[in-house]
Structure formats: structure tokens, C-alpha cells
């Protein structure tokens, strides 16, 4: 059902895009707009991962520089039946993560230093499994396409406003309708993009929970990330808000409800769905808000001052 909804939303966005092109230049304008969008999508298909990773200053790591993280990703990727993705770390205090890449063979998982420092191993595994679910579902390409089409609609609408739209409609109600659609079309595209993002987040939560085998690991992680996102700014995301939908939790601002302008479902709703899933498949772990006691930070062994050896940090 989620794929059907996504397909319908994509079809609606494409129709909206062609409608704006038609208002600007008639049938030929619609075709030109479609060709422009196709060219943008082709470019984005090959370069989206490099662009977004560079935007956030992500550095690729391996078993020598971040052994625990890379081994965790490898184990979960094996359980998901995926090839090993590239692993990146972003030097950012806000706990968050995203996946990118045009297909599972060219995918990447990126996590922030804040995420590694604030979550337990179990919670981090839940987050990584969620991102691997996006890769397995080909959501990384889907989100890129929707973002590109939404951007193209805004660009074409602004072009139409500048040149006055299709001259055949430049009188009376036709002109008013053209202007109204050119103003509302970018808004509509943004809403469709957000609806697709919310649909895919729920699907990735469920699959990610099944990959790691413990729905409550992810539920606990979502709560911690949500709380931190209210307090720790992500300046790179603020400068590029169009990428907000890629993260596991909205990096721009916390949303208390599934409202029309939210790129993500409400965290409480996602946690409730994971709690129901835990009841169905077992392996619920601790209840949300009262996680199994574990040292804060996935790379710590025994608590400080206990006299027991501690694990090495993520950079070896």
C-alpha cells in the first residue's frame, strides 16, 4: 500500500510539473519542462550522493579508522541481504543520520559524531538498520527524484511568473488562474514531497526494526534524537533545508504532530508503531523512555571510574 501511495504521489507531482509547463508555453512548454526535469534527474542520479555528502563534510571511514561502526554496518547489511555500503561520519554535534546513493550497490550511510556519542550500541544499531531499510527500499533514489522534481516545479513556476505565462491565457480569468497556479504549484510540490517522505519513514522504521530484530532499540533511539534535535542546531541543514527529509529525524526543528508542513511523521506516532510491532514479533526490549541500562555512547565499555576496561573510540 505504501508503494501504491508513493506512486500516486509521484504521478501527481509529475502532472503538476507538466501543468505549469503548459501554462507557460502550451503543449510545447509542457514537453520542454519534462525534458528539463529528465535532464536534472539524470544529473542527480549520478551525482546526488557526492553532492550531499560533500555538503555535510562527511568523511569516509573504514575498519582502521572506525572499526566498531563499520563492523556494525557490515553485520546489519548482511542481515538485510545488502552489499556493504560506504560508511561516513559527519563532524556534527546533533545526533542524526541519513542514507544516500542511487542503488544498493552504490549506497552510503552517514552518521554524525553526536549520534555516536549519545546513543547506546543497541540504539545505534536501530538507527543504522533504519537507514539500511531506506537503501533496500530504494528510497534514497526516490527521495532524490522527488526533491529534484519539486525544485524544477519551483524554477519553472518562477520562470512563468517572470514572463507572464502562456500568452494565449493572458486575459481575464485565464490570466488569474495561471498566476494562481504558478504560485500554488511550488507549494503543492512541496506538500507532495513531504507526504512521500512521511510514507517512506514508516516503512523504513518497520523494516529497520525487523533487520535488527529489536523494534524498541529504534524506538528508544528516535526519542533521544528527537529530544536532542530541539536543543542542538544543525547549521549545515539550516543552510540546505531541502535535504531535511533525508535524515532519520527532522534536523531543522522538532514537530509535535503530523502536520501538513512536516517532513517527518511525529516521533510519538513512529514509536507507537514500533511498540505495536514489538508486540507482534517479540524482542521488544525495554519500554520506550526507560531503555535497558547501558553506558551512554556506543563506544564506551564500563562506566567511567568503575576500574573496568573501556572500549576504544570510533576512530580506533
Q: Which residues are catalytic?
A: 131
Q: Which three cell numbers stand for residue 147?
A: 526533491
For residue 24, how far is the Cα from the chain centroid?
A: 32
Strand locations in 82-235, DSSP E? 86-90, 97-100, 108-112
Cα 86 to Cα 65: distance, rounded to the nearest angstrom: 13
Helix (H) or strand (E) holding 59: strand 59-61
Annotated binding site: 130, 134, 201
Residue in the structure block whose three cell numbers are 502562456:
166
Annotated binding site for Zn(2+): 130, 134, 201
Q: Which three cell numbers stand for residue 42?
A: 539524470
Q: Using the 8-state DSSP alphabet, how is residue 303 labeled?
A: P
Neighbours of 91 (CB within 10 A): 11
CA atoms within 13 A on the CB side of 298: 27
The full length of the chain comes to: 316
Q: Which of 147, 215, 168 is nearest to 10 (CA)?
A: 147
Are 227 and 47 spatial neighbours (Cβ–Cβ below 8 Å)? no
Amino acid at each position: 500500500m505504501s508503494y501504491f501511495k508513493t506512486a500516486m504521489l509521484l504521478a501527481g507531482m509529475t502532472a503538476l510539473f507538466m501543468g505549469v509547463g503548459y501554462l507557460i508555453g502550451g503543449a510545447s512548454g509542457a514537453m520542454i519542462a519534462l525534458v528539463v526535469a529528465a535532464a536534472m534527474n539524470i544529473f542527480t542520479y549520478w551525482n546526488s550522493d557526492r553532492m550531499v555528502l560533500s555538503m555535510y563534510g562527511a568523511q569516509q571511514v573504514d575498519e582502521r579508522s572506525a572499526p566498531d561502526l563499520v563492523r556494525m554496518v557490515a553485520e546489519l547489511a548482511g542481515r538485510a541481504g545488502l552489499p556493504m555500503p560506504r560508511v561516513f561520519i559527519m563532524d556534527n554535534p546533533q545526533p542524526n543520520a541519513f542514507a544516500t546513493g542511487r542503488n544498493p550497490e552504490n549506497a552510503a550511510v552517514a552518521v554524525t559524531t553526536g549520534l555516536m556519542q549519545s546513543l547506546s550500541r543497541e540504539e545505534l544499531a536501530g538507527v543504522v538498520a533504519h537507514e539500511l531499510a531506506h537503501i533496500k527500499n530504494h528510497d534514497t533514489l526516490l527521495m532524490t527524484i522527488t526533491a529534484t522534481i519539486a525544485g524544477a516545479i519551483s524554477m519553472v513556476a518562477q520562470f512563468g511568473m517572470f514572463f507572464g505565462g502562456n500568452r494565449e491565457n493572458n486575459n481575464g480569468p485565464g490570466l488569474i488562474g495561471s498566476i494562481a497556479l504558478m504560485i500554488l504549484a511550488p507549494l503543492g510540490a512541496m506538500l507532495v514531497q513531504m507526504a512521500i517522505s512521511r510514507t517512506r519513514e514508516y516503512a523504513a522504521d518497520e523494516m529497520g526494526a525487523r533487520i535488527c530484530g529489536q523494534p524498541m532499540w529504534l524506538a528508544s533511539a528516535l526519542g533521544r534524537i528527537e529530544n536532542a534535535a530541539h536543543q542542538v542546531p544543525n547549521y549545515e541543514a539550516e543552510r540546505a533545508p531541502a535535504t531535511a527529509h533525508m535524515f532519520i529525524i527532522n534536523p531543522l526543528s522538532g514537530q509535535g504532530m503530523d502536520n501538513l508542513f512536516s517532513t517527518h511523521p511525529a516521533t510519538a506516532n513512529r514509536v507507537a508503531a514500533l511498540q505495536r510491532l514489538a508486540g507482534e514479533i517479540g524482542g521488544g526490549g525495554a519500554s520506550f523512555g526507560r531503555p535497558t541500562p547501558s553506558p551512554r555512547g556506543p563506544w564506551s565499555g564500563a562506566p567511567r571510574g568503575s576500574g573496568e576496561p573501556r572500549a576504544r573510540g570510533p576512530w580506533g
